[in-house]
Structure 1
């Protein structure tokens, strides 16, 4: 697993480099068939990540790649699930709250996840064997080898539980249902603090211990959550379907996630 983790970390950092090269320029914004935005950064990061992960000879399902029919991918026991640029809206706003998400899925469950924040150089990773860790690399200009990064990383959660119960919510996709969820937490805990963030950073904030819960009562796709799911899960959190209370599953015929909650156990 360490070798596979090293490859995933390398892929995430290299994808982040491609993103920052575009971020430093004037860039065009295109609209995909589902009306979501797309930039050259999404495409370049995808190609870079795809080339590096190819070393593992495992199948790849990427938001920006060709969508493999379910009849073929339903037979995949282990595969990569990637969002080369999660938070394209945040990228376009230039607020820094976007990530590279790389997850390894085995039998529908994320067994490894890497989340990289190109603007800050913050790297999160989690595996079922090692637990979850983070390291502040500072930028995409990284001199450390993936092996050294793993050796120097610090265990999650990194923060003590806040005195005030804290809910993390979406920067761009808040809903009335989310507000109702927060109101229920106020009834239970009294004072509730809310913080906003973009992309898979929200899952990582719960993994870090900086928030107790993240309700996502709005649409997401599997590639949006898989890497952060692994980081949160192996940091001692639960990632579960809002209605059924069962753990989120991946490689479904319909790649749309149900509403879900990330909660520190």
Structure 2
């Protein structure tokens, strides 16, 4: 597989979907409300991404795991494929609805459960991040400017900034953050925008801790590769790699994303604190 060629196609698809989200942000319908809302923008962007990708990447070879359609597709199909596209057409729907601008779209190609090509677009600020396995991470704007990005080299707890959600916080997560040694905090919506902040050196650390529900594959697959190819690390709290395209698409437990400089210490600290919280 030519990852650079695949990435070029995914970048074009990403820009097309980003333009749809920007247009829809002016006038959209909320199709489903609640904790996991769905808008007409989610549906429109999802249809566009699937149509464009499937016209190039044969569904007989490539599986497709998308937030908006996975429940209507037999899991056996994607589980039988080594190559699977993992798609979130609108990451941060609540932020989209509230017009904070902190929403993103994710497109990742995974091989045997690990991402090898990734796109994270932040439409409201006109940026698209792309990465290929061993090819680095790049940011571009629609006028053609494109350059590599790297996570920070900060390596002291007191110098780090953690990026967190405004809304996806339960009691356990709040307890974890209260006791965590990294005290500087930025609040940003959507995982894609959080990871963008880390590779732009505006933050250094992100934590996810499942509660009654958990983040899903499409929340993390693309952001992971964007971060790791920019020098960061993205693992479960036990430092094992995150696995995608399993029967259960929920990512239970703790996940930590960092600039990579003291990742082990951060993971060990998070593990110890969660164990005390759960006692």
TM range (shorter): 0.7 to 0.9
- State the distance in 2 between where 1:125 and 1:177 align: 33
Q: SS at 1:24's partner residue?
A: coil
Give distance in 2, aligned partners of 1:143 and 1:131.
21
Q: What is the TM-score normalised by the length of structure 1?
A: 0.85
Conserved in 2, the CA contact under 8 Å of 1:101 and 1:113? yes
**1:145-164 mapped onto 2 (5 Å cutoff):** 152-157=145-150, 161=154, 164=159
Residue of structure 1 equivalent to 2:67:
63
SS at match of 2:124: coil
Which residue of 1 is the match for residue 269 of structure 2? none
CA distance in 2, matches of 1:3, 1:224: 24
1:81 aligned to 86, 89, 99, which one?
Answer: 86
Determine helix, strand or coil for the equivalent of 1:174: coil
Q: How does 1:75-154 map to 2 (within 5 A)?
A: 75-135=80-140, 137=141, 142=142, 144=144, 152-154=145-147
Partner of 1:18: 20
Asked whether the equivalents of residues 151 and 231 of structure 2 are also in contact (C-alpha less than 8 Å), the reply is: no
Within 5 A, what are the aligned runs for 1:1-265? 1-25=3-27, 27-31=28-32, 36-54=36-54, 55-57=56-58, 58-67=62-71, 68-135=73-140, 137=141, 142=142, 144=144, 152-157=145-150, 161=154, 164-186=159-181, 192-199=183-190, 200-218=192-210, 219-242=214-237, 244-258=238-252, 259-265=254-260
Cα shift at 1:158: 6.1
Residue 115 of structure 2 aligns to a residue in which SS?
strand
After superposition, give the CA deviation of every residue in 1:147-168 in whole Å (9 maximum; x if it has no partner): xxxxx52222165649832111
SS of structure 2 residue aligned to 1:239? strand
RMSD between superposed Cα atoms in Å: 2.1
Distance 1:246 1:159, change over 3 A: closer
**Other-structure match for 1:149:** none
What stretches of structure 2 of length at least 5 have no aligned partner? 261-279
| Runs of 4+ in structure 1 over 4 Å off | none
Equivalent residues, number = 246
- Partners of 1:247 and 1:212 lie apart in 2 by 19
The 8 Å contact of residues 161 and 211 in structure 1, kept in 2 or not, is answered as no
CA pair 213-143 structure 1, distance change in 2 beyond 3 A: closer
Please give the TM-score of this superposition, normalised by the length of structure 2: 0.81
